[in-house]
Amino acid sequence: MMSRLISLLLALLLSTGAMLSDPASESREAGFLFPPYETLLSAPGLQARCLMREMTLEEQIGQLFLIRPESLSEDLTPAMVHHGTFFGLTQWDPALTGRMTQRPPGGVILFGKNIIDPDQLTLLLDQLSAAAPYPLFLAIDEEGGRVARIGNNPHFSVPRYESMETITRPEDAFLAGTAIGSYLKDYGFQINFAPVADVNTNPDNVIIGDRAFGDDPQQVALLVREMVRGYEAAGILPCLKHFPGHGDTHDDTHHGAVVLEKSWEELLDCELIPFLASLEDTPLIMVSHITLPNVTTDGLPASLSYQLITEKLRHELGYQGLIVTDSLAMGAVTDHYDSGQAALMAFQAGADLLLMPEDYALAFDSLLQAAEEGVISRERLEKSVLRVLTWKARAGLIGTNPS
């Protein structure tokens, strides 16, 4: 067994050496429960590289997408998603399996309209996983409070929370993360897009409000960190959102552009404090669509900005986990770009996971064409695919013993 492992390792070193960046930066495990970048000697990192080598280009492109299951159906038009009139797929249609294979996504996110009761949810998640050619990330927004797809369904007997704003003690934040994470784990999810790390400093904020822990950045940082620990203790990958901070905005990026006039220094003094406090403990960070004219010069939403994602979050702050966009079907994006343009821009900006493009087929095909034509380098693609697969291995979706 050891000799086979050594032989495989040597082969991987020879075949992937050109794509590797600085090994020291890749192995920064710090405080992560699920390290984002493994060394070649670690089982999850090795398994991720082995699986990536088996994948076609199309399958590698697919790993970059987290989609609604309805995106695989021709009955769902982009306009229906945009205007919020989408239906909810609650039972897998075998006719969709071919589309899942043609454009295999890296993961699926469920909403309230996908969920009826415990038996139906369990069956649907099993069906989705069985239809995919490679293991799927199964994700959900289960913040607690008004955003809780399972917790707000009366057919489920799970812990319920009035809001995150009502949680004021670190021990209660940890217990809430453990409780929510435990029932998500029981149903088969791996990712929860929570906790909200925004600091709710604007009383007129229409989108964050009591979803945040409060308006004191230090207190929010403490509670966010404990909730992250709770999710990870339950075996769920948490995600800090909405970087670099949506708490001092007035408008809603679901419906159009939102501008935050603060400078980077001002963000460091408030909005970024909760993110920085958990930066080395959090597997995923979600980047919002707010535009920051006093931080970047490109005029783009943060989710599409290389200056914000790569130069600030990756390089300046040193984040090594998975970077996911907020939903690419939101008005702040769709009012200006089609799904192909938005997906390519977000990926080139540095995102690893592209969440819910309005038109999945167009987004997928645009990235595939860009990779085939060299607009996206193979090195850049494989870095994100490797991140995704390594996290899947750490989450138990990919076996840790190479075959």
The structural domains of the chain, ordered by start, are: 30-394 (3.20.20.300)
Catalytic site includes residue 119: no
**Residues whose CB is less than 8 angstroms from the CB of residue 60 and which lie 6 or more positions away in sequence, other chains included:** 52, 381, 382, 385
Say what the pTM is. Answer: 0.88
Q: Is 286 helix (H, G, I), strand (E, B) or coil?
A: strand
Q: What is the pLDDT along the chain (403 residues), one digit of tens a residue?
A: 334 443 444 444 444 443 333 323 333 333 344 444 444 457 888 899 999 999 999 999 999 999 999 999 867 555 444 444 457 899 998 889 999 999 999 999 999 999 999 999 999 999 999 999 999 999 999 999 999 999 999 999 999 999 999 999 999 999 999 999 999 999 999 999 999 999 998 877 767 889 999 999 999 999 999 999 999 999 999 999 999 997 767 555 564 568 899 999 999 999 999 999 999 999 999 999 999 999 999 999 999 999 999 999 999 999 999 999 999 999 999 999 999 999 999 999 999 999 999 999 999 999 999 999 999 999 999 999 999 999 999 999 997 433 3
Q: Check if the beta carbon of residue 134 is closer than 8 Å to that of residue 187.
A: no
Q: Provide the sign of the torsion angle of the four alpha carbons 99, 103, 105, 106, taken in this order.
A: positive
Q: Provide the sign of the torsion angle of the four alpha carbons 179, 183, 186, 189, taken in this order.
A: negative
Catalytic residue among 141, 281, 326, 352: 326
Find tokens 């709770």 and name the residue: 230
